[in-house]
A and B are shown apart, each in its own frame.
Chain A
Amino acid sequence: MTDELGREAARESLKQVGEVAKRTRTMIAYRGGDVLFVVWGIIWAIGFTISQFAPRESQWAWLGLTPLGIVLTFVVLRRPPAVRAAGTDRLARRIGIMWGLLFVYVDLWLALLWPFLHPNGIAFWRHLTAVIFTAPMLAYVMMGLWLDNCMVWLGLGITALTVTGLLLLPGVFFLWLAAMGGGTLIATGLIIRRRWR
């Protein structure tokens, strides 16, 4: 049969093998991640838009949006994984513990420092928001170092956008976070989805 198959057909077959292998790796790496990026991107966009235009009411909005995001995250993570293998469950559990520890770390230091902070004016809240929302970006970078470079660039990119907005666009900082932070997360989710579908 080898003689009958032309070079063009062989080239096409090898191309097909390469493309399927690439899509498979992406699917395994990002199963459910695409939905989570879009969910958190929408939450960021809504929350920070409210923070920009109705700062006094925004704390109530975040009190509703954050638990909603956490619940949706658990719903998405309940989807069965595409691949089961020894070690996969342990890795997922360790990633979950890492995120839990990060939340505890940030909340603990906020609670300990709170008596010494002087929340006067919007500038304080801008800076505090930047600290809180770049913490998960650092976690993305750390995860990306082990799992996928895409997460490293996403974490660094959103951190850079946050700092840029904080320093250069203080008047529209929250709107900047809604558009650039939320938009980047949504775009990342859509790109991931397109890459393997």
Chain B
Amino acid sequence: MADLDLIIHQPMRLSIMAALMVLAPRAQMDFTSLRELLRATDGNLGAHLQKLEEAGYLAVKKTYVGRKPRTFLAPTGKGRRAFEEHVKALRAILGE
């Protein structure tokens, strides 16, 4: 039986991973769009992204588009597997 992942289980981090899992392989979402999508503040979202990045679940790429700095996010392979396991564990609790 799959185990729940303590890092992903926190509601904001669960939402972050759920949003990023929609992305096609090698696609990246920008920080501002994710913040609007999850109705989060810069500080709150940044703190949770850092946790996910430290766990190796998230790749963060800072770059410039024109002259503006932008941050792009994507789940890593490890992050995708961890999220899928977490969802499996949630389904197992419900007997699905």
User: Which candidate, A20-28, A35-43, A116-124, is the interface stretch facing chain B?
Assistant: A20-28
Contact string against A for B residues 58-70, beta-carbon threshold 8 Å, 1 for contact and 0 otherwise: 0000000100001
| Beta-carbon nearest neighbor of B61 in chain A | A84
Return the contact of B23 from the options A13, A80, A85 (Cβ within 8 A): A85
**Docked-complex contact A2 and B14, CB < 8 angstroms:** no
Q: Given the complex, which residues of B lie within 8 Å of A13, measured CB to CB?
A: 9, 11, 14, 90
Return the contact of A16 from the options B1, B11, B65 (Cβ within 8 A): B11
A31 to B26 alpha-carbon distance, docked (Å): 19
**Docked-complex contact A1 and B4, CB < 8 angstroms:** yes
A21-B19, A80-B70 known; A196 vs B6 contact (CB < 8 Å): no
Q: How many residues of A contact B (CB 8 A)?
A: 29
**Docked-complex contact A82 and B19, CB < 8 angstroms:** no
* Minimum distance in angstroms from A7 CB to a CB of chain B: 6
**Docked-complex contact B93 and A10, CB < 8 angstroms:** yes
A2-B89, A13-B9, A17-B14 known; A85 vs B22 contact (CB < 8 Å): no
| Beta-carbon nearest neighbor of A87 in chain B | B24
**Docked-complex contact A84 and B28, CB < 8 angstroms:** yes
Q: Given the complex, which residues of B lie within 8 Å of A24, measured CB to CB?
A: 18-19, 22, 37
**Docked-complex contact B1 and A85, CB < 8 angstroms:** no
| Beta-carbon nearest neighbor of B16 in chain A | A20
**B-contacting residues of A (Cβ < 8 Å)?**
1-2, 5-7, 10-11, 13-14, 16-17, 20-21, 23-25, 27-28, 31, 80-86, 88, 196-197
| New contact pairs (5) apart from A10-B94, A13-B90, A80-B30, CB-CB < 8 Å | A5-B90, A24-B18, A80-B65, A83-B27, A83-B33
